[in-house]
Amino acid sequence: MKPIETIMRTAPVIPVLVIEDVAHAVPVARALVAGGLRVLEVTLRTPVALDVIRAMRSVEGAIVGAGTVTDPATLKASIDAGAEFIVSPGLTERLGAAAVSSGIPYLPGVANAGDIMRGLDLGLTHFKFFPAMTSGGLPALKALAAPFHQCQFCPTGGITLDNAPEWLGFGPVLCVGGSWVVGKGAPDVLAIEAAARAAAALA
């Protein structure tokens, strides 16, 4: 398996994390790992995101990546911070080429056939289908997956505990991305661990 596929197969849900306070990083990561979700996507949507990645890397068992990577500069900053994989909301040739040349496991966002073909040109076969629900939902992904049978996906955007099983029941879907596992604000570690257990049980 490719390294990104190994990461995608680690757990059925990748928590999509928006962490506002570095002090929350380690407790959140510990609770997620304890609940069975080891792959953590830290979105670069806050000023402390890179520091959060560094902090979470100290948690045993956690596989910490950077999300919302949109250009080569943030790609490099994420790698320098210790990110073990990269997720982007879309795919440009410039970012894709930089990610591929870096050698880091990379999951670019796609929403249509042109995006997927751009990825295939770069040698990529694993994609984040984003935003999943507003891009046509599961029927749209099924339609896209038919001509691109060599590709596998992580739908993200509008995925919930309730609808995740339907997505995960579709063969080309290896995992889903979800922001429901961790709420905003000060972390309730018991609630996070419980939510992680429920998500991990979707396997």
Task: Provide the CA 17 distance to its chain's centre, in angstroms.
Answer: 9
Check pLDDT > 80 for residue 1. Answer: no
| The two three-digit tokens of residue 36, written as one number | 């069975």
Q: Give per-residue pLDDT as tens, 29-49.
A: 999 999 999 999 999 999 999
Over 90: is that where the pLDDT of 203 sits?
no
- For the entire predicted model, the pTM comes to 0.97
Residue pLDDT, tens place only, 130-147: 999 999 999 999 999 999
Q: What is the pLDDT of residue 185?
A: 87
Q: State yes or no: is 184 an active-site residue.
A: no
Q: Considering only the C-alpha atoms of the chain, give the largest distance between any 2 of them, rounded to a whole number of Å.
A: 46
Check residue 2 and give its pLDDT: 83
**Residue-level pLDDT at 141:** 98
For residue 15, pLDDT beyond 90: yes
Catalytic one of 60, 84, 93, 128: 128
Q: Which of 41, 37, 16 is nearest to 157 (CA)?
A: 16
What single string gives the DSSP state of each residue in 52-72?
A: HHHHHTTSTT-EEEEES--SH
Catalytic residue among 2, 5, 20, 41: 41
Whether residue 131 has a cis bond before it, omega within 30° of 0: yes
Each residue of 69-108: pLDDT tens digit? Answer: 999 999 999 999 999 999 999 999 999 999 999 999 999 9
Given a cut of 90, whether residue 19 has pLDDT beyond it is: yes
Domain ranges of the chain: 3-200
Assigned CATH class of 3-200: alpha beta
Instruction: Return the closest-CA partner of residue 59 out of 84, 88, 86.
Output: 84
- Which two tokens mark 71? 């250009």
What is the percent of the chain with per-residue pLDDT over 70, rounded to a whole number? 100
- The average confidence (pLDDT) of the chain is 97
Tens-digit pLDDT profile for residues 173-186? 999 999 999 988 89
Q: Is 128 a catalytic residue?
A: yes
